[in-house]
C-alpha cells in the first residue's frame, strides 16, 4: 500500500489535467474489477458487478495546482490558482508544468507577509529572457506542486494526500474485496477541487443507492488548532457533517455498526468547513443516501499534508467490510 | 385543528436540519387528514398530495420544515460541550440560552457566559464567537459522555408564546410559519374546486443550502412551483424598504428567481379578491427553496410568498397569525385556477 501511495501522490494531475493520474489508476485497479470506462467528464469508472444495491465509491484524483496566465519580458511566469491554493503555501515550492517543464515559485519583495497574493508570486523556470521562456512554457499550461513522500514515525507526509489517499484506499479495497452482493462503482472523479464537478456528472450517470466519498479531513490535534474532534492515529473518521453534507443517520449508523462489529478503529467527524464528493452525490436527482470515510490529515492543501498510515489501514478495512455487507438491507429504515 | 394549536405543535417539535424526523411525522399526520396522500421520503421530506379535478398539471408548494441548531462537536474537560453550528446563527443571541441536547435521552443545558463583574474593560462591546461558547449541563464528563455523543443535535429549549394582538413568538417560526401556510391552504382547498394536483412539500435541509427542495422538485417535476418562507418583519431601527409589515399580509416576491407573469397574476388575484398582500423585491437569487426549485429537473416557473417575521434566527421570532391565514387564502385562490392561468401565461 505504501509503495502504491508513493506512486500515486507523486503523479501529476491538477483539476482539468488528470490524464496521467487517471492512466496510473486505471492500470492499478483494472485487474480487480469487471469493467472500466471513462465518462464524458473524464471520471474513471471501475465496476464490480453485483445484483444488490448500487454503491458509488468516489475518490477524487485531481489535485490543487495553477495555470500559467502570463509570461513577462524577463522570462518569469505569472500564475492563477486552480482550487484552494493559499499564496503563502506556494512560496519557494518546486512545481511541474504539464509539458514537463520545472520551476520554483518566487515572490516580489513585500513589506508585510500578509500582502502576499497571487499578483506578487511568479514562477522561475530558469529562462534567460522572454524568448527562452516561451520555448519552455506557454500561457494556459497547467501546473502542480512537487514533493516526495516521506515517512516519519508512522506518519506520512506528501503533497496531494488530498485526495490520492482516497484513490489508494479505493484501489486497495477493490483488491481485498472478496464476496459482495452489491454492484460497486469505484469512481476516480475529476475536478473536485473546483466544485465537486466530476462527482455531479458521475452520480447522475450511475444513479446509486448509496454514495461513499473517500477524502481527507482536518484535525484538532496540532498546537492552537481549532476545536475539532478528529486526531491522527485514532482511526478512520466517519463523517457526521461538513458544509456540503449532513450525513443521514441511517448511513452514519450503518458505517459505525460495521466498524464496531469488525473491531475497526474509528472516530466521529464534524467539520465546520469544506465539502466532499459525497455532498454532490447526496444532491443528485431526487437525492441519494451518502456518507464519507475520511482520513484525518494535517496541513491540508500544502505540499506536506500529513496523515497516519494506521488510519489509512483502518479506512481500507472499513470500506471493504461496508462493501461486503448487504447494503440494501443495512439501509432499510 | 385550530391554527394556533398547529403553530404551537409545529414550532415546538424538534427538527434540526438533517434530523427532521419529529416534525416530519407531525406534518405527515396533518397531511393525512387534509390531503389524499401523505408520505415521507428517505431524507424526511414530507409530501402531501391533493388530487385535482383534471390532474392536468402539478403545482408544488414548498415550505421547509428544518430549523437551525447545533451539533455536539467536542467535549471539554469538566463536562462542557462545544458546538458546531447548523445553519446561520447570530452569536450575539446565544449566551444565556437554555438548550436541549437530543442524545440517548434528552439532556438540558445552558449556554454559559462571563458575568459583567468579571469582564475586562471593553469586553461588553465584543461579540463572543461560537468557538468560545460552551454548554453546561451540570453533568460530569463521564456521565455526560454516557448520554451524549459527538454529532447529537442541540436545539434551543423552545416555547411558543402568545403575545398580545394576535402575535406569536418563539424559535423555529422560520419556517414552521410557512408549513402552517401549507396546512391552512389545504383546509381552504377542501372547500374549493381545483383542477391541478397540488403537491404540498415540507422540505428538509433548507438552512444548509435548500437541499430538500432540490431533491423533491426533481422528483415531482412540477409545472409551477411556489416557495413559502419567512421574510424580515418591521421593527424599530430598520429601514422600511428592507422589511415587510406584520399584519399586512404575505409578501409576494419580485425578482429574477420568480416568473414575472405568474407573479403578476398572483397579485391581480389578491386585488380582485381583496386579500391584503405586500411586495418584496429580491434582486438576486435569494436564500429560499425557490433558488433550487427554479433550476430543478427541466426548470420550474416559480412564485414566492413570505410571512413577515421579526427577529429572524433567534428564540423570539415573532409573527402575526393573520398573515398566515391571508397567505393561505391567496395561495388557495391561485392554485384553484392554475390550469387557466398556466394556459394564458405559459401555454
DSSP character at residue A41: T
Q: Which fold has domain B69-156?
A: Elongation Factor Tu (Ef-tu); domain 3 (2.40.30)
Q: Catalytic residue at A192?
A: yes
- Of A18, A183, A192, A193, which residue is the catalytic one? A192
Which of A220, A227, A248, A296 is best to mutate for the B interface (most B CBs within 10 A)?
A227
Residue A13 Cα, gap to closest chain B Cα (Å): 30
Q: What is the CB neighbour count within 10 angstroms for residue A109?
A: 5
User: Residue B60's pLDDT is what?
Assistant: 98
CB < 8 Å to B300, chain A: none
In percent, how much of chain A has pLDDT > 70? Answer: 100
B/e letters for B303-341, b = 16+ CB within 10 Å, e = fewer, are bbbbbbbbbbbbbebbbbbbbbbbbbbbbbbbbbbbbeb
pLDDT band at B240 (very low <50, low <70, confident <90, very high): confident
Residue of B nearest to A230 (CA): B74
Q: Residue B172 — left, alpha, or beta (φ > 0 → left; ψ -120 to 50 → alpha)?
A: left
Helix, strand, or coil (residue B70): strand
- For residue A68, what is the enclosing H or E element? strand A65-71
Taking the CA atoms of B222, B226, B227 and B228 in sequence, report the sign of the dihedral they define. negative
pLDDT of res. B239: 87
Task: For the domain covering A65-145, report its CATH number.
Answer: 2.40.30.40
Task: Count other C-beta atoms under 10 Å from residue A102's C-beta.
Answer: 15
3-state secondary structure of B187: helix
Q: Give residue B40's region: left, alpha or beta (phi > 0; psi -120 to 50).
A: beta
Contact A185, A45 (CB under 8 A): yes
Question: In which band, very low, low, confident or very high, does the pLDDT at B286 lie, cut at 50, 70 and 90?
Answer: confident
* pLDDT confidence tier of residue A219, bands split at 50, 70 and 90: very high
pLDDT, residue B326, reads 98
pLDDT at site A152: 97
As to burial, measured by CB atoms within 10 angstroms (0-12 exposed, 13-18 middle, 19+ buried), residue A208 is buried
Nearest-5° angle of CA A158, CA A164, CA A170?
A: 140
Interface of B with A in 134-153 (CB under 8 A): 149-151
Q: Do B86 and A246 touch (CB under 8 A)?
A: yes
Burial class (CB in 10 A: 0-12, 13-18, 19+), A99: exposed
A240 touches chain B (CB under 8 A): yes
Residues forming a β-bridge with A253: none
Distance of residue A242 Cα from the nearest chain B Cα, in angstroms = 10
pLDDT at position A320 over 80 = yes
Which of A207, A208, A240, A255 should be substituted to probe chain B, the one whose Cβ sees the most B Cβ atoms within 10 Å? A240
pLDDT band (50, 70, 90) for residue B241: confident
Question: Residue A268 and residue B86: Cβ atoms within 8 Å?
Answer: no
pLDDT at site A80: 97
The per-residue b/e assignment along B124-134, b for 16 or more CB within 10 angstroms, e otherwise, is eeeeeebeebb
pLDDT confidence of residue B124: 77
Return the pLDDT at B115: 81
Q: What is the pLDDT of residue B126?
A: 85
Q: Is the pLDDT of residue B344 over 90?
A: yes
- List, for residues A72-110, the tens digit of each pLDDT value: 999 999 999 999 999 999 999 999 999 999 999 999 998
Tell which of B42, B80, B148 to mutate to test the A interface (max A CBs under 10 Å).
Answer: B42
Question: What is the pLDDT at residue B117?
Answer: 84
In terms of CA atoms, which chain B residue is nearest residue A284? B215
C-alpha distance from B27 to closest chain A C-alpha (Å) = 19
Mean pLDDT of B233-256: 93
Give me the residue from B18, B131, B215 closest to A226, CB to CB.
B131
Q: Pick the residue from chain B with its C-alpha nearest to A331.
A: B42
Q: How far is CA B226 from CA A241, B20, B57, in A?
A: 29, 21, 14
A287: nearest CA partner in chain B: B215
Catalytic residue among B20, B184, B206, B280: B206
Q: pTM value?
A: 0.95
Interface check for B131 against chain A (CB to CB < 8 A): the answer is: yes
Write down the mean pLDDT value for chain A.
Answer: 97
- Comparing CB atoms, the residue among A241, A268, A283 nearest residue B214 is A283
Domain positions in chain B: 3-67+171-345, 69-156
Residues in chain A within 8 Å Cβ distance of B42: 248, 287, 289, 333
**pLDDT tens digits for range B9-65:** 999 999 999 999 999 999 999 999 999 999 999 999 999 999 999 999 999 999 999
Q: How far is B219 from chain A (nearest CA, A)?
A: 5
- Interface contacts A/B by beta carbons within 8 Å: 67
Shortest Cα–Cα distance, A31 to chain B (Å): 36
Q: By the CB < 8 Å criterion, does B208 face chain A?
A: yes
B8-24 per-position pLDDT tens digit:
999 999 999 999 999 99
Closest residue on chain B to A243 (Cα): B208
Closest CB to B74 among A229, A241, A286: A229
Q: What pLDDT is stored for residue B299 in this prediction?
A: 97
What is the spatial distance between Cα A47 and Cα A60, in angstroms, rounded to a whole number?
16
Architecture per CATH, domain B3-67+171-345, reads as 3-Layer(aba) Sandwich (3.40)
Question: pLDDT of B106-154, one tens digit each?
Answer: 999 999 888 878 888 888 788 889 999 999 999 999 999 999 999 999 9
Chain B residues 161-180 within an 8 A CB cutoff of chain A: none
Q: What is the pLDDT of residue B265?
A: 97
Please write the tens of the pLDDT for every residue from A221-234. Answer: 999 998 899 999 99
Select from B73, B86, B215 the Cβ nearest to the Cβ of A229.
B73
User: Taking the domains of chain A in order of start, what are their residue ranges?
Assistant: 2-63+159-330, 65-145
B80 touches chain A (CB under 8 A): no
Hey, is the C-beta of A287 within 8 angstroms of any chain B C-beta?
A: yes
CB within 8 Å: A282 and B150: no
- As a dihedral over the C-alpha atoms of residue A327, residue A331, residue A332, residue A333, rounded to 10 degrees, the angle is 170
Distance CA B147, CA A149 (A): 42
Whether the pLDDT of residue A128 is over 80: the answer is: yes
Q: Which of B21, B129, B151 to mutate to test the interface with A (most CBs of A within 10 A)?
A: B151
Instruction: Write out the CATH class of domain A2-63+159-330.
Output: alpha beta
| Nearest beta carbon to residue B218 from set A220, A228, A286 | A286
Nearest to A248 among B43, B74, B84 (CB): B43
Per residue in A252-306, pLDDT (tens digit) is 999 999 999 999 999 999 999 999 999 999 999 999 999 999 999 999 999 999 9
Q: What is the pLDDT of residues B302-338, one digit of tens each?
A: 999 999 999 999 999 999 999 999 999 999 999 999 9
A229 touches chain B (CB under 8 A): yes
| C-alpha cell recorded at residue B109 | 443545558
The ipTM assigned to this model is 0.93
Residue A274 touches partner B, C-beta closer than 8 Å? no
Which one of B131, B150, B208 has the shortest CB-CB distance to A270? B150
pLDDT digits (tens, 9 = 90+) for B178-236: 999 999 999 999 999 999 999 999 999 999 999 999 999 999 999 999 999 999 999 99
Q: What is the pLDDT of residue B57?
A: 97
Of A227, A243, A268, the CB nearest to B131: A227
Q: Does A228 touch chain B (CB under 8 A)?
A: yes
- Does the CB of B41 have a partner CB in chain A at under 8 Å? yes
Cα B63–chain centre separation:
6
Q: Name the helix (H) or strand (E) containing B50.
A: strand B46-50
Amino acid at each position: 500500500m505504501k509503495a502504491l501511495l508513493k506512486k500515486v501522490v507523486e503523479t501529476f494531475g491538477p483539476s482539468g489535467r488528470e490524464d496521467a493520474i487517471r492512466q496510473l489508476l486505471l492500470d492499478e485497479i483494472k485487474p480487480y474489477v469487471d469493467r472500466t470506462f471513462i465518462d464524458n467528464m473524464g471520471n474513471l469508472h471501475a465496476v464490480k458487478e453485483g445484483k444488490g444495491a448500487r454503491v458509488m465509491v468516489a475518490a477524487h484524483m485531481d489535485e490543487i495546482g495553477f495555470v500559467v496566465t502570463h509570461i513577462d519580458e524577463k522570462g518569469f511566469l505569472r500564475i492563477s490558482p486552480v482550487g484552494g491554493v493559499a499564496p503563502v503555501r506556494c512560496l519557494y515550492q518546486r512545481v511541474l508544468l504539464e509539458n514537463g517543464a520545472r520551476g520554483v515559485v518566487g515572490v516580489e519583495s513585500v513589506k508585510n507577509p500578509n500582502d502576499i497574493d497571487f499578483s506578487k508570486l511568479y514562477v522561475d523556470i530558469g529562462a534567460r529572457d522572454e524568448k527562452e521562456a516561451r520555448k519552455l512554457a506557454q500561457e494556459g499550461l497547467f501546473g502542480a506542486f512537487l514533493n516526495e513522500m516521506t515517512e516519519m514515525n508512522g506518519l506520512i507526509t506528501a503533497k496531494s494526500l488530498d485526495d490520492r489517499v482516497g484513490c489508494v484506499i479505493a484501489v486497495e479495497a477493490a483488491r481485498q474485496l472478496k464476496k459482495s452482493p452489491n454492484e460497486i462503482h469505484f469512481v476516480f472523479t475529476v475536478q473536485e477541487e473546483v466544485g465537486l464537478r466530476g462527482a455531479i456528472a458521475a452520480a447522475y450517470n450511475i444513479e446509486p443507492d448509496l454514495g461513499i466519498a473517500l477524502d481527507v479531513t482536518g484535525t484538532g490535534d496540532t498546537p492552537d488548532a481549532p476545536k475539532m474532534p478528529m486526531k491522527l492515529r485514532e482511526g478512520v473518521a466517519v463523517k457526521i457533517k461538513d458544509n456540503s453534507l449532513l450525513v443521514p443517520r441511517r448511513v452514519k449508523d450503518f458505517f459505525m455498526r460495521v466498524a464496531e462489529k469488525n473491531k475497526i478503529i474509528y472516530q466521529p467527524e464534524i467539520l465546520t468547513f469544506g465539502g466532499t464528493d459525497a455532498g454532490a452525490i447526496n444532491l443528485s436527482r431526487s437525492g441519494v443516501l451518502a456518507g464519507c470515510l475520511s482520513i484525518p490529515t494535517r496541513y491540508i492543501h500544502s505540499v506536506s499534508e500529513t496523515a497516519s498510515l494506521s488510519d489509512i489501514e483502518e479506512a481500507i478495512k472499513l470500506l471493504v467490510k461496508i462493501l461486503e455487507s448487504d447494503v440494501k438491507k443495512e439501509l432499510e429504515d | 385543528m385550530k391554527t394556533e394549536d398547529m403553530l404551537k405543535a409545529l414550532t415546538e417539535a424538534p427538527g434540526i436540519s438533517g434530523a427532521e424526523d419529529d416534525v416530519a411525522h407531525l406534518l405527515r399526520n396533518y397531511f393525512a387528514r387534509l390531503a389524499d396522500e401523505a408520505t415521507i421520503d428517505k431524507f424526511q421530506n414530507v409530501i402531501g398530495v391533493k388530487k385535482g379535478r383534471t390532474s392536468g398539471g402539478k403545482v408544488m408548494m414548498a415550505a421547509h420544515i428544518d430549523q437551525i441548531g447545533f451539533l455536539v462537536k467536542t467535549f471539554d474537560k469538566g463536562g462542557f460541550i462545544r458546538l458546531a453550528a447548523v445553519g446561520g446563527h447570530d452569536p450575539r443571541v446565544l449566551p444565556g440560552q437554555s438548550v436541549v441536547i437530543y442524545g440517548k435521552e434528552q439532556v438540558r443545558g445552558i449556554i454559559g457566559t462571563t458575568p459583567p463583574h468579571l469582564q475586562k474593560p471593553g469586553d461588553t462591546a465584543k461579540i463572543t464567537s461560537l468557538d468560545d461558547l460552551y454548554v453546561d449541563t451540570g453533568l460530569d464528563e463521564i456521565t455526560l459522555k454516557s448520554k451524549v455523543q459527538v454529532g447529537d443535535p442541540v436545539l434551543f429549549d423552545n416555547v411558543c408564546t402568545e403575545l398580545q394582538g394576535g402575535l406569536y413568538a418563539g424559535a423555529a417560526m422560520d419556517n414552521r410559519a410557512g408549513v402552517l401556510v401549507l396546512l391552512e391552504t389545504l383546509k381552504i382547498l377542501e372547500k374549493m374546486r381545483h383542477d391541478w394536483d397540488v403537491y404540498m412539500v415540507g422540505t428538509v435541509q433548507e438552512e444548509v443550502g435548500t437541499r430538500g427542495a432540490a431533491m423533491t422538485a426533481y422528483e415531482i417535476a412540477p409545472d409551477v412551483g411556489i416557495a413559502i418562507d419567512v421574510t424580515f418583519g418591521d421593527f424599530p431601527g430598520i429601514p422600511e424598504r428592507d422589511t415587510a409589515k406584520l399584519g399586512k399580509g404575505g409578501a409576494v416576491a419580485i425578482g429574477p428567481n420568480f416568473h414575472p407573469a405568474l407573479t403578476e397574476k398572483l397579485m391581480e388575484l389578491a386585488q380582485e379578491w381583496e386579500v391584503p398582500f405586500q411586495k418584496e423585491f429580491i434582486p438576486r437569487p435569494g436564500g429560499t427553496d425557490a433558488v433550487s426549485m427554479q433550476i430543478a429537473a427541466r426548470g420550474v416557473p416559480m412564485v414566492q410568498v413570505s410571512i413577515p417575521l421579526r427577529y429572524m434566527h433567534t428564540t423570539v421570532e415573532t409573527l402575526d397569525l393573520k398573515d398566515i391565514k391571508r397567505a393561505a387564502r391567496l395561495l388557495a385562490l391561485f392554485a384553484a385556477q392554475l390550469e387557466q392561468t398556466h394556459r394564458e401565461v405559459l401555454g
